Amino acid sequence: MVILARGAKETKAEAKESPSSEVAGRVKSGIPGLDEMMGGGIPVGSLVVLSGDPGSGKTILCWQFIYEGVTKYNENAVFVSLEETEETIYDGALGFGWDFRKLVNSGKLKIITIELYDFERLKTAIEDNVKAINAKRVVIDPGVIFRLFFDRELDARKRIMSLGKMLKSIHATAIITNEIALDQMTSLYGLEEYVADGVILLYHTKIKNRFYRSIAVLKMRRTGVTENLKPVQIGSDGIKVLSKSEMFTEVG
Ligand SMILES: Nc1ncnc2c1ncn2[C@@H]1O[C@H](COP(=O)(O)OP(=O)(O)OP(=O)(O)O)[C@@H](O)[C@H]1O
Ligand SMILES: [Mg+2]
Cα 59 to ligand 2 centroid, rounded to whole Å? 4
> Residue 85 falls within a domain, yes or no?
yes
> Residue 22 falls within a domain, yes or no?
no
Which CATH number belongs to the domain containing residue 142 in this structure?
3.40.50.300
Which of 31, 51, 58, 145 for a ligand 1 pocket mutation test, highest count of atoms within 8 Å of Cβ? 58
pLDDT score for 184: 64
pLDDT tens per residue across span 21-65: 445 699 999 999 999 999 999 999 999 999 998 899 999 999 999
pLDDT score for 247: 61
> Residue 16 falls within a domain, yes or no?
no
**Structural contact between residues 198 and 47, judged by C-beta atoms closer than 8 angstroms:** yes
> Residue 61 falls within a domain, yes or no?
yes
Q: What percent of the chain has pLDDT over 70?
A: 79
> Residue 227 falls within a domain, yes or no?
yes
Q: Is the pLDDT of residue 146 over 80?
A: no
- Amino acid in the structure at residue 107: G
Domain that holds residue 243: 27-251
**Structural contact between residues 215 and 29, judged by C-beta atoms closer than 8 angstroms:** no
Mean pLDDT of the chain: 84
Q: What number does the ligand 1 atom closest to the CA of 179 have?
A: 25
> Residue 11 falls within a domain, yes or no?
no
pTM, entire model? 0.88
In angstroms, what CA-CA distances link 1 with 4, 15, 124, 205? Answer: 10, 12, 38, 31
Q: Distance (Å, rounded) from C-alpha 18 to C-alpha 20?
A: 7
> Residue 18 falls within a domain, yes or no?
no
**Closest residue by Cα to residue 156 from 147, 165, 164, 166:** 147
The domain total for the chain is 1
What ligand has the least distance to the C-alpha of 50?
1
> Residue 223 falls within a domain, yes or no?
yes
Q: Distance (Å, rounded) from C-alpha 120 to C-alpha 94?
A: 32
